[in-house]
Amino acid sequence: MNYTSQVDNISLVHQAVNRKGFALGAVKAAEWLHGKKGIFTMNDMLQF
């Protein structure tokens, strides 16, 4: 994500250094999904 103006540029960068964060997210999603039926998005799980 970049924000640019006539005087500067601001960048926001995320870099994963291993798979632990992805694995934790998958486990949390599976726990949330248990017992539910239907089609869901990440917004449903994150309650946005």
DSSP reduced 3-state for 25: helix
**Could you give the CA distance from residue 46 to residue 21 in angstroms, rounded to a whole number?**
16
The model's pTM is 0.60
pLDDT in tens, 3-46: 999 999 999 999 999 999 999 999 999 999 999 999 999 899 98
Non-local (6+) Cβ contacts of 12 within 8 A are 1, 2
pLDDT of 47 over the 90 cut: no
Cβ atoms of 28 and 21 within 8 Å: the answer is: no
DSSP 10: E
Model confidence band, residue 1 (pLDDT cutoffs 50, 70, 90)? confident
pLDDT of 48 over the 90 cut: no
